[in-house]
């Protein structure tokens, strides 16, 4: 089946079961300081899983663009990618296991046509105060019976501890921060019997084995618990279902193809790589691995750029840079010199033109950024070569330094040294590399952990202050001011907006006075549900970088501010305290940034 066909059928299947289709949000999350990327469908829905009212109701279906930086080292096998599309269906306190598990099974076996005998499921074995999910086991047995199968635990259905069958953004219950939602889950695996088990992954193969014979294609999370400050788990006010399915893997399964890189969406990308390198995908293990890495990194960096993250040395831009440079390094192993990443970006944009259209000017900007980054990195590699010429004997540690500073690949150091009749110490290089990896892993932990988009009191108040600030800036500076981004922690708010010059101290003072006077007026805060069109017609502000669903929530702060927003917010402005701007600076061309606090 083609990717576009599966997307269409999935949305249709759940639309026919009372779900409303909601659009994918950006890969760069707004207003969530705890994480750099949207890495799952549930991330933008956290407030609603915790009990906020969703404007589109209690049954939702979506296909969410997702990016997982932590999977970068796994790319190269038949199924891991950093960017992927996640099929989601959501019950926000509506249906539960009894309805959802049969639907997923029906979708996979009837709609998509997968052989039920090759579908295996896992459930939660129980841990601590939460018992084994016997309800899910019984339901699965009943479900398999509908296709004439007598599915048994230990044969088709397997129970695993929390490490495998508990889902929250931070993993097992003990890793969840207070306030984080999570719950037991039931994963679905598709078997590719032609893939021989590789004993490198363990003596016996099993559904959770990493050899590639069993591929996880979906996961139903029964999101019904919340972590409390005392470390216990409490029941959420509503029982939710969060289903996530891997679109690319599912398309591969419909083709009885264990390699996701062989599905239609990758074809133009692989073809552009084959024509640049003159090598055939699949011809040998090493170049196939290189091609997969380049395909993945080329696709991920292009999709991230399309959502506004251009290569840089900071935050998301740094990850984009790393992906591009890593792809170029693997390109060199394939014998590719320069210019190929821009071609790949072009193929990616073509492949996704229908699902995630990009305006022509933006397309040109992405291609230009890719080409610039390629040139920059190639120049650096050139400098690395010159440095090497100056070094009389290349040690493993020096080779690593060249790798770290110029991205100079090990293989190239080795080859140069060989030309001089020397040998570089690989063990020394690898020891340095390992040290470096440990360091970046520790640094990365804080950056990529899926922590809670904190909905504590301080964050909620600062969020309300952001709306007041947005409106006050428009009153003082003019209505050209539009929100470009925001980021809130328990200590301060950060707000980016369109404005081409520095905001003067006098203007800042006026903005502070306006916000504080609205706080003193003790305005009530309320929301209503309406269509996006009507909201805009009646003057509600929106974060124009986003695609909104048809129905939206509009928050009103008395008669002062009206804005499309998911919430949550304080009940009335007098709860906010005193507002003060602490810093004003440039963010990017034509965008200013303000930091402010409440005390
Ligand atoms: N939240 C779960 C996941 O990301 C299911 O959607 O796997």
pLDDT at residue 457 in the model: 81
What is this structure's pTM? 0.80
93 lines ligand 1 (CB under 6 A): no
Classify 167 as helix, strand or coil: strand
Reading the chain (599 residues) residue by residue, the pLDDT tens digits are 999 999 999 999 999 999 999 999 999 987 666 678 999 999 889 889 998 899 999 999 999 999 998 778 789 999 999 999 999 999 999 999 999 999 999 999 999 999 999 999 999 999 988 999 999 999 999 999 999 999 999 999 999 999 999 999 888 999 888 888 999 999 999 999 999 998 989 999 999 998 999 999 999 999 999 998 899 999 999 999 999 999 999 999 999 999 999 999 999 999 989 998 999 999 999 999 999 999 999 999 999 999 999 998 777 888 899 899 889 988 988 989 878 999 999 999 999 999 999 999 999 999 999 999 999 988 888 887 787 778 878 888 888 877 766 667 677 778 787 777 778 888 887 887 777 666 544 433 333 322 224 567 888 899 999 999 999 999 999 999 998 888 888 889 999 999 999 999 999 999 999 999 999 999 999 988 888 889 989 999 987 656 677 888 899 999 999 999 877 889 999 999 999 999 999 988 889 999 999 99
Give yes or no: residues 350 and 424 share one domain: no
pLDDT at 581: 97
For residue 221, report the distance from its CA to the centre of ligand 1, in Å. Answer: 7
The answer to whether residue 546 sits within a structural domain is yes
Indicate the residue among 319, 351, 377 that finishes a domain: 377
Nearest CA to ligand 1 atom 6: 244
Is the C-beta atom of 548 inside 6 A of ligand 1?
Answer: no
Ligand 1 lined by 41 (C-beta under 6 Å)? yes
CB atoms within 10 A of CB 443: 10
- Residue-level pLDDT at 33: 62
State the distance from the centre of ligand 1 to the C-alpha of 91, rounded, in angstroms: 13
Residue 87 Cβ < 6 Å to ligand 1: no
Distances (CA, A) of 381 to 293, 336, 389: 20, 13, 13
Q: Return the structure tokens found at 265.
A: 């969406």
**Last residue of some domain: 260, 290, 308?**
260
Q: Residues 511, 574: one domain?
A: yes
Check whether residue 557 and residue 515 sit in a common domain. yes
In a domain, 386, yes or no: no
Q: Is the Cβ atom of 166 under 6 angstroms away from ligand 1?
A: no
User: Is the distance from the beta carbon of residue 242 to the nearest atom of ligand 1 less than 6 Å?
Assistant: yes
CA distance 407 to 387: 13
Q: Which of 42, 92, 246 to mutate to test the pocket of ligand 1 (most atoms within 8 A of CB)?
A: 42
Which structural domain, as residue segments, surrounds residue 300?
A: 266-377
Q: Whose CA is nearest to atom 5 of ligand 1?
A: 244
Helical spans, DSSP H, in 245-314: 247-254, 267-277, 285-306
Query: What pLDDT is stored for residue 443 in this prediction?
Result: 39
Report yes or no on 166 lying in a domain. Answer: yes
Question: Ligand 1 within 6 A of 221 CB?
Answer: yes
Q: What is the pLDDT of residue 421?
A: 79
Please indicate, yes or no, if residue 415 is contained in any of the structural domains: yes
Residues 399, 365 share a domain: no
How far, in Å, CA of 185 to CA of 166, rounded? 5
Does residue 383 sit within a domain? no
Distance 41 CA to ligand 1 centre (A): 7
Q: 225 and 299 in one domain?
A: no
| Ligand 1 contacts CB of residue 556 (under 6 A) | no
Whether 86 and 210 share a structural domain = yes
Q: Quick one: 30 and 135 in the same domain?
A: yes
State the pLDDT at residue 437. Answer: 62
Domain-located, residue 385:
no
- What pLDDT score was predicted for residue 388? 78
Q: Establish whether residue 40 lines the binding site of ligand 1, counting it when its CB lies within 6 angstroms of any ligand atom.
A: yes
Structure tokens at 379: 């120049």
Within a domain: 120: yes
Q: 540 and 418 in one domain? A: no
Q: Do 63 and 103 reside in the same domain of the chain?
A: yes
Q: Does residue 398 sit in the same domain as residue 358?
A: no
Q: Is residue 167 lining ligand 1, measured as CB closer than 6 Å?
A: yes
What's residue 343's pLDDT? Answer: 93
Among protein residues, the one whose CA lies closest to atom 4 of ligand 1: 40
| DSSP 8-state code for residue 502 | P
**Cα-to-centroid distance, 13 and ligand 1 (Å):** 19
- For 467, the token pair is 């709306």
Q: Is 368 helix (H, G, I), strand (E, B) or coil?
A: helix
Task: Please check whether residue 126 lies inside any domain of the structure.
Answer: yes
**Phi, psi (5° rounding) for residue 291?**
-65, -40
Assess contact for 566 and 574: CB atoms under 8 A: no
| Closest to 596 measured CA to CA, from 473, 453, 446, 452 | 473
Q: Is the CB of 244 under 6 A from ligand 1?
A: yes
Asked if 270 and 211 sit in the same domain, the reply is no
Q: Which atom of ligand 1 is nearest to the CA of 223?
A: 1
Is the beta carbon of 168 within 6 A of some atom in ligand 1?
no
| Number of domains the chain is built from | 4
Of the three residues 325, 354, 377, the one that is the final residue of a domain is: 377
């Amino acid at each position: 089946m083609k990717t576009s066909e599966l997307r269409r059928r999935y949305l249709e299947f759940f639309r026919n079961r009372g779900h409303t289709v909601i659009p994918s949000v950006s890969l760069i999350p707004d207003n969530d300081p705890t994480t750099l990327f949207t890495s799952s469908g549930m991330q933008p829905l956290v407030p609603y899983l915790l009990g906020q009212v969703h404007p589109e109701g209690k049954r939702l279906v979506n296909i969410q663009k997702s990016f997982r930086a932590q999977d970068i080292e796994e790319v190269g096998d038949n199924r891991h990618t950093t960017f992927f599309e996640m099929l989601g269906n959501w019950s926000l306190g509506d249906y539960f296991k009894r309805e959802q598990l049969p639907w997923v099974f029906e979708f996979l076996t009837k709609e998509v046509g997968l052989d039920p005998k090759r579908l295996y499921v896992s459930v939660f074995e129980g841990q601590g105060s939460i018992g084994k999910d016997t309800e899910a086991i019984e339901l699965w047995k009943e479900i398999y019976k509908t296709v004439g199968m007598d599915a048994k635990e230990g044969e088709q259905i397997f129970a695993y501890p929390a490490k495998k069958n508990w889902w929250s953004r931070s993993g097992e219950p003990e890793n969840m921060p207070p306030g984080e939602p999570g719950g037991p889950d039931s994963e679905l695996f598709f078997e590719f019997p032609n893939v021989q088990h590789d004993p490198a992954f363990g003596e016996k193969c099993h559904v959770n084995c990493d050899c590639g014979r069993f591929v996880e294609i979906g996961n139903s999370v029964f999101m019904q618990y919340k972590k409390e400050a005392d470390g216990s788990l409490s029941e959420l006010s509503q029982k939710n279902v969060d289903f996530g399915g891997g679109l690319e893997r599912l398309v591969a399964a419909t083709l009885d193809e264990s390699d996701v890189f062989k599905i239609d969406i990758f074809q133009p990308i692989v073809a552009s790589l084959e024509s640049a390198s003159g090598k055939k995908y699949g011809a040998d293990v090493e170049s196939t691995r290189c091609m997969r890495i380049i395909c993945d990194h080329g696709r991920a960096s292009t999709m991230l750029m399309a959502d506004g993250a251009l290569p840089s040395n900071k935050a998301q831009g740094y990850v984009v840079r790393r992906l591009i440079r890593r792809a170029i390094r693997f390109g060199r192993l394939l014998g590719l010199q320069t210019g190929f990443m821009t071609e790949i970006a072009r193929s990616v944009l073509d492949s996704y033109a229908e699902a995630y259209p990009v305006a022509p000017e933006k397309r040109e900007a992405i291609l230009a950024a890719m080409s610039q980054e390629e040139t920059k990195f190639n120049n650096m590699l050139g400098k690395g070569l010159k440095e090497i010429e100056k070094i009389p004997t290349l040690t493993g540690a020096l080779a690593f330094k060249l790798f770290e500073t110029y991205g100079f690949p090990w293989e190239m150091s080795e080859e140069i040294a060989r030309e001089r009749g020397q040998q570089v110490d690989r063990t020394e290089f690898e020891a340095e590399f390992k040290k470096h990896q440990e360091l970046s892993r520790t640094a990365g932990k804080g950056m990529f952990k899926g922590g809670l988009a904190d909905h504590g009191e301080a964050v909620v108040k600062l969020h309300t202050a952001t709306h007041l600030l947005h409106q006050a800036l428009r009153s003082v500076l003019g209505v050209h001011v539009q929100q470009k981004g925001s980021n809130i922690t328990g200590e301060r708010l950060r707000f980016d907006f369109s404005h081409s010059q520095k905001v003067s101290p006098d203007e800042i003072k006026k903005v502070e006075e306006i916000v504080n006077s609205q706080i003193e007026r003790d305005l009530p805060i309320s929301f209503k549900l309406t269509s996006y069109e009507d909201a805009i017609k009646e003057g509600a502000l929106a974060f124009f970088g986003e695609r909104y669903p048809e129905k939206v929530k509009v928050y009103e702060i008395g008669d002062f501010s009206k804005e499309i927003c998911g919430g949550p917010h304080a009940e009335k402005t007098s709860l906010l305290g005193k507002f003060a701007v602490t810093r004003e600076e440039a963010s990017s061309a034509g965008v200013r940034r303000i930091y402010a606090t409440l005390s």
